[in-house]
Every structure is written in C-alpha cells, then in structure tokens.
A and B are shown apart, each in its own frame.
Chain A
Amino acid sequence: MKLSPDETIFWQHGFFTLNLTIVTTWAVMLVLVIAAALVTRNLKTGIRISRWQSILEMLVVGINNQIEDIGLKNPKDYIGFIGTLFIFIVTSNILIILPWYEPPTGSLSTTTALAVCVFMAVPFFGIANTGLLGYLKSYIQPTFIMLPFNLISEITRTLALAVRLFGNMMSGGLIIAILLSITPLLFPIVMQSLGLLTGVVQAYIFSILATVYIAAAVHDSKPMNK
C-alpha cells in the first residue's frame, strides 16, 4: 500500500525523479494558471462583471482581507505568497473528488517544500520590512535568553506545518482507501465529503499560520505597533 504519491515513480535518473507528486503538482499548476488566465483575459472595471470574475474577485479580496485582519498592513505585498499557498493547497485538496487522484499535499515532500517556503519567507519579508538587523533582533526579544527558544520555535513550527498538512491529507486518503476495502458503497462518500472539508480547513490553517509567522516577523504589523 502506497502512503505517498512520491512512491509512484514515472521516471528516475540518479537523483532526478519524476513521480506522481510532481506530475500532479504540474497538473494543478496548469489548471490554476489556465483558469486564471482565462478569467482575467477579459476583466471588466465596470459595475457589471462576469460570474467567474466575480468569484475570483471574491477569492482575492477574501484573502486580502484575511491577511489584513491578521495584522499585515500592506496585504498586496503578501498576497502573492500567502494567496498562492492557500489556492494551491485548497485546489490540491479539493481535487480529491476526482477518481484516482492523489493530492500532492498528501506527500511529505510537498508539505515540507511548502513549509520550507514559509520558513524562508518569514526572514525574507522580515528583512524586507525591518532590515537585517531589525529582523535578527527579533530573535533576542524580549531578552537574549529567548534566542535558543526562538530558534527552536522557528524550526519546530516549520516542521509542524509540514507534518500537520501531510498528516491530515495522508490520513484522509488512507482512511478512504481502507474504507473502500471494507464498505465500498456509501460510507467512503461521506468520508470523502469530510475529506473535502478537512482539505479546505487545512489549506486555511496552513495559510493563516504562514501569515501569522510572517506578521510576527514584520515589526510594523498592527499588533506590534500597539
């Protein structure tokens, strides 16, 4: 029994491996980019807009507002990263309704990659906002003694991010696979619906946590100003 789509390998040459995770990620990326390009091809700035534009605007504005609510002053600077995190994870998770589809988020490699991205984004945005010194100072806040704890926290939260998403998605897929062998008729549908909900919630949690970490690193965020 395969626990991760990483194990489905299409092509391998030494270190290079082309597995199901990468292929599915490409597919999801393709779907997202094509959909976005199609909808934004004919954007209207008037009062009457198309249904798809309305949906995308709601999504983008929703993400923007969430980022702002968490405490980041200029959400437009962060929406590229945080929004993409949410959209990619939620799309990957929602597509489990397709038969034989295995979400790339069910791979620890993908969740690790995303967590590493967050891990790198936090100092990136922190330094961009407060400078290198300012960012580094945040590690010795409130006192110097907190430095090791802050460093541990940085690593563990990244690990937690990766494992949380992977665990949830993998467990969901695994449960459905097990249930299919036990009660193949109706119960897996219920579990799949639950899986959809879990997928959306996990995407939300991942993005929100990433935003919180970034906001904590950015000193000019609202809570810090208070």
Chain B
Amino acid sequence: MQINWFTVIAQIINFIFLVWLLKRFLYKPILKAIDERENKIAGHIKDAEVKDAKAKKEQIEFAAKNETFEKEKKGLMDNAIAETNEKRQKLLESARNEAIELQSKLENSLKEMEENLNRDMAQKTQQEVFAITRKTLADLANQSLEEQSVSIFIQRIVDLKKEEKKKFVEAFKKKSNSILVQSAFDLAKKQQADIKNVVNEILGLETQFQFKTAPELICGIELTSNGFKLAWSISDYLNSFQKSIAESVRAEPIEEQHASKPI
C-alpha cells in the first residue's frame, strides 16, 4: 500500500483533463439546453400570462357587453310588451266598436227590412183597394154622371180665383198653342161647346181646342195648356186619398219605432 507519485501526478493530470472534457461535452451543452428550455418555458408562461390577462380583460369586456345587451334586450322586450299590450287594447277596442257598429247596422237593416215589408204590404193593399174602387166607379159611370162631371168642371173653371185665372191666361199667352181637353168619356158637342165658351170667355179670344178620351181619368176632365193644368176627376180624389193613406203608412213605422223604444 504505497503511493506511486507518478500515478498521483498522472491521475491529477487525468482528472483535470477529464474536468475539461466533461465541461466541454457534458455540463455546458446540458446546462445550455436546460437554460434554453427554461427560457422557452418562461417565454411560454409569460405569453400565457399575457394571453390570460388579455382573456380576462376580454372576459370582463364581454361580461360588460353582455350585461348591456341584457339590459337593452330587457328594455326592448318591455317596450315591445307594452306596445303589444297597447296595440292589443286598441285592436280590441276597434273590434268591439266594429262589432257594435255591425250589430247596430244589422239591427237597422232588420228594422229597415221590416219597415220595407210593412210599407210594401201597405202599398200593395192600398193599390188593390184603389184599383177595386176605380174599377167600381168606372163600372158605375153613365150618361148623367158624365154630364154632371162636365157641369162640375165648368163650374170649377168659372169659380177659379182671379190669380188662378191670371196664371192660366199668362200660361196660354206665353205660347199660343191649342188647349188640350182630356176626358174619361167622349164629350158631346154641346159639352165641348160649353167648355170652349167658358175658356174663351176667360182668355178673351177664340182658340183651338183638342178633345181626347182618357179612361184613366175616371169620370174626370182635364184641361192642359202650356204646362197649366186644370182638372177634375174622381181619380184626383182617389189620388189625393191614396197620397194621404201612403203618408200615414209611412209615418206609422216611425211612430212604432218611437213607441217601441224602452223607457
């Protein structure tokens, strides 16, 4: 167990050489690789931190935007609901009014229909009654009745008031035409002459006369000159009576309507 000093020196040299070799081939490359990796990881971590911070910032912004959006959405929804309710109310009101209006129209229409029906029935009845009357009077007409009619007609011309006579004269003079005389029956020569005399007397001149037969006049005579008409017939009475009846028939539903109104 001796120390070989040459070996000691050789081993010292060997060891120093080994230190150099391992530094060159082991420590430096390994430590360099570790440093690079650590730098890389540190870079990644820094990058991740930056991204994290950015993400957090974006998250906060997003949350704020989301909140704003929610508020806006809620506001819009509230407005929309309010508008919808308002519109619904309006539509309901409008529909209700329309329904009332339609109901009113329907009621009026029904009443009108009822009135029309009543009126038609009354008119029909009236027409039938007058038709029967006319027929009866026409059937009853005879010589003496005709003569009587002419004499009444002449008497009426004679009895005309001054103003009426004046109107008649003016109407005749305005357009000097012939005078048309219509009668329900054929007038006898004497009767024609009587009428001519009376009329000429009023006019104060000789004029042309045209005599025509019109059975619808019913025992009547009609004198027409330039729009002026002078007539007498049972038909006139009947027409007058028919008019009066018709007016009373028309007035009746109104009275009924007033009467049917609830108190």
A interface residues (Cβ-Cβ under 8 A, vs B): 3-4, 6, 15-17, 19, 21-22, 25-26, 29, 32-33, 36-37, 40, 43-47, 53, 56-57, 60-61, 64, 76, 79-81, 83-85, 87-88, 104, 107-110, 112-114, 116-117, 170
Question: Is A46 a contact partner of B19 (Cβ separation < 8 A)?
Answer: no
Question: Is B21 a contact partner of A33 (Cβ separation < 8 A)?
Answer: yes
Query: In the complex, A64→B17 CA distance in Å?
Result: 21
Who on chain A is nearest to B41 by CB? Answer: A47
Question: Is A45 a contact partner of B22 (Cβ separation < 8 A)?
Answer: no
Q: 10 extra interchain contacts, Cβ-Cβ under 8 A, other than A19-B7, A113-B11? A: A15-B6, A17-B7, A19-B4, A21-B4, A47-B37, A56-B30, A57-B34, A80-B23, A113-B8, A113-B14
Question: Is A3 a contact partner of B12 (Cβ separation < 8 A)?
Answer: no
Question: Is B16 a contact partner of A45 (Cβ separation < 8 A)?
Answer: no
For chain B, give the interface size range. Answer: 20 to 34
**Cβ of B36 to closest chain A Cβ, rounded Å:** 4
Question: Is B25 a contact partner of A36 (Cβ separation < 8 A)?
Answer: yes
Query: In the complex, A102→B169 CA distance in Å?
Result: 178
B interface residues (Cβ-Cβ under 8 A, vs A): 1-12, 14-19, 21-23, 25-27, 29-34, 36-37, 40-41
Q: Is the interface of B mostly helix, strand, loop or mixed?
A: helix
Known contacts A6-B4, A60-B30: A110-B11 contact under CB 8 Å: yes
List 7 interface pairs A-B (beta carbons < 8 Å), by A numbering: A6-B4, A46-B40, A56-B26, A60-B31, A109-B5, A109-B11, A116-B12
**What chain B residues lie within 8 Å of A61 (beta carbons)?**
34
Question: Is A29 a contact partner of B36 (Cβ separation < 8 A)?
Answer: no
Known contacts A6-B4, A108-B3, A109-B4: A22-B10 contact under CB 8 Å: yes
Known contacts A33-B22, A40-B25: A117-B30 contact under CB 8 Å: no
Question: Is B15 a contact partner of A107 (Cβ separation < 8 A)?
Answer: no
Question: Is A17 a contact partner of B4 (Cβ separation < 8 A)?
Answer: yes
Who on chain A is nearest to B36 by CB? Answer: A45
**What chain A residues lie within 8 Å of B1 (beta carbons)?**
3-4, 108, 170
**What chain A residues lie within 8 Å of B25 (beta carbons)?**
33, 36-37, 40
**What chain B residues lie within 8 Å of A57 (beta carbons)?**
30, 33-34
**Cβ of B52 to closest chain A Cβ, rounded Å:** 19
Query: In the complex, A108→B4 CA distance in Å?
Result: 8
**What chain A residues lie within 8 Å of B2 (beta carbons)?**
4, 6, 108
Question: Is B37 a contact partner of A80 (Cβ separation < 8 A)?
Answer: no
Residue from the list A6, A36, A46, A87 in contact with B37, Cβ < 8 A: A46
Query: In the complex, A37→B9 CA distance in Å?
Result: 26
**What chain A residues lie within 8 Å of B7 (beta carbons)?**
6, 17, 19, 21-22, 107, 109-110, 113
Who on chain B is nearest to A115 by CB? Answer: B8
**What chain A residues lie within 8 Å of B17 (beta carbons)?**
29
**What chain B residues lie within 8 Å of A117 (beta carbons)?**
12, 15-16
